[in-house]
């Protein structure tokens, strides 16, 4: 149960209590007693003045008293529920698995994966999934820490930084992504498809490494527009980084981007 769910539950119980309390205050009190004799039903009001017979011509009043008695019982249960929820809120630790993980030393974190439902299945899927490779495999000439081949030194840097957050993140290199362009399906191969194992979110990373080349830059703008038209928005589910000969990849920015996506809140 999340903290927001607790707040919603408390809000719901409080609203019901307020509505029921308003009914109780504006309707007659006392206790309705019902007796059956010789197949006939008799109603009595029991209050501080004693016991009073209520003829059936006062049926609406009888119903109001019965409703009042019912709501009095409901009120007590709601009040108990509200006290229980408030007590639970003070003692409940949301995301306990993450809270415990955050208290571990770095040495111990290196030895484990933080728990989240289905985490082992997601890790297995990411690491074992087969997919068609992007074209021009011969251009993969640079090796990452994981031993995979990528197309540029900058992609090596990005891959290695991502791998440094392997307790939270997993990635696939040049996994195909199917998009639509004017009603036609097209396949692109984002440089990195990244999974946050804790939140379950997926984000795509495209690195434009030759922005000083006019033809390359034009093609990248077309690809960027294709991402946008298919609902992949920078800063939401798409990461874009750029460099040129005059302005190489800013490694500090890469760390900031990766650490931001690795957050589990």
**Residue of 237 and 113 predicted with greater confidence:** 237
pTM of the model: 0.55
Label each residue of 137-205 as H, E or C. Answer: HHHCCEECCCCCEECCHHHHHHHHHHHCCCCCEEEEECCCEEEEECCEEEEECCCEEEEECCCCCEEEE
- pLDDT (mean) for 142-147: 93
31 pLDDT higher than 70: yes
Sequence ranges of the domains in the chain: 3-94, 116-261
222 pLDDT higher than 90: yes
Position of tokens 């998009």?
179
Backbone φ and ψ of 187, nearest 5°: -115, 135
pLDDT-derived band at 96 (thresholds 50, 70, 90) equals confident
Question: 40-54, 82-96, 202-216: which range is least confident on average?
Answer: 82-96
Question: 80-89, 124-133, 146-155: which range is least confident on average?
Answer: 124-133
The pLDDT score that the predictor gives to residue 142 is 93
2 pLDDT higher than 70: no
Position of tokens 């029921």?
20
217 pLDDT higher than 80: yes
Q: What is the CA radius of gyration of the chain?
A: 32
Cβ atoms of 262 and 196 closer than 8 Å = yes
Domain 116-261 architecture: 3-Layer(aba) Sandwich (3.40)
**Residue of 140 and 114 predicted with greater confidence:** 140
Q: Tens digits of per-residue pLDDT, 227-248?
A: 999 999 999 999 999 999 999 9
d(CA 215, CA 210): 9
The beta-carbon contacts of 238-242 under 8 Å, at least 24 apart in sequence, are 238/203, 238/204, 238/205, 238/206, 239/194, 239/203, 239/204, 239/205, 239/206, 240/205, 240/206, 240/207, 240/208, 241/158, 241/205, 241/206, 241/207, 241/208, 242/207, 242/208, 242/209, 242/211
Beta-carbon contacts of residue 213 (< 8 Å; ≥ 6 apart)? none
Calculate the average pLDDT of the chain. Answer: 88
Backbone φ and ψ of 7, nearest 5°: -65, -40
The pLDDT score that the predictor gives to residue 265 is 58
């Amino acid at each position: 149960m999340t903290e927001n769910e607790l707040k919603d539950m408390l809000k719901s119980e409080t609203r019901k209590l307020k509505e029921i309390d308003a009914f109780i205050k504006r309707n007659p009190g006392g206790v309705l007693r019902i007796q059956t004799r010789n197949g006939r039903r008799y109603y009595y009001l029991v209050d501080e003045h004693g016991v009073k017979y209520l003829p059936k011509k006062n049926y609406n009043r009888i119903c109001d008293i019965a409703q009042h008695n019912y709501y009095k019982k409901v009120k007590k249960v709601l009040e108990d529920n509200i006290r229980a929820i408030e007590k639970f809120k003070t003692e409940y630790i949301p995301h306990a698995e993450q809270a415990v993980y955050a208290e571990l030393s770095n040495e111990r974190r290196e030895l484990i994966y933080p728990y989240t439902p289905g985490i082992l299945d997601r890790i297995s899927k990411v690491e074992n999934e087969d997919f068609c490779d992007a074209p021009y495999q011969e251009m993969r000439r640079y090796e990452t820490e994981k031993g995979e081949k990528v197309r540029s030194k900058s992609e090596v840097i990005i891959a290695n930084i991502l791998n440094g957050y392997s307790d939270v993140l997993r990635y696939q290199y040049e996994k195909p992504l199917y998009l639509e362009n004017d009603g036609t399906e097209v396949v692109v191969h984002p440089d990195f498809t990244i999974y946050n194992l804790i939140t379950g979110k997926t984000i795509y990373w495209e690195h434009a490494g030759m922005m000083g080349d006019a033809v390359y830059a034009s093609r990248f703008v077309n690809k960027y527009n294709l991402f946008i038209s298919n609902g992949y928005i920078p800063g939401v589910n798409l990461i874009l980084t750029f460099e040129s000969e005059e302005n190489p990849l800013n490694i500090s920015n890469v760390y900031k981007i990766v650490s931001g996506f690795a957050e589990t809140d």
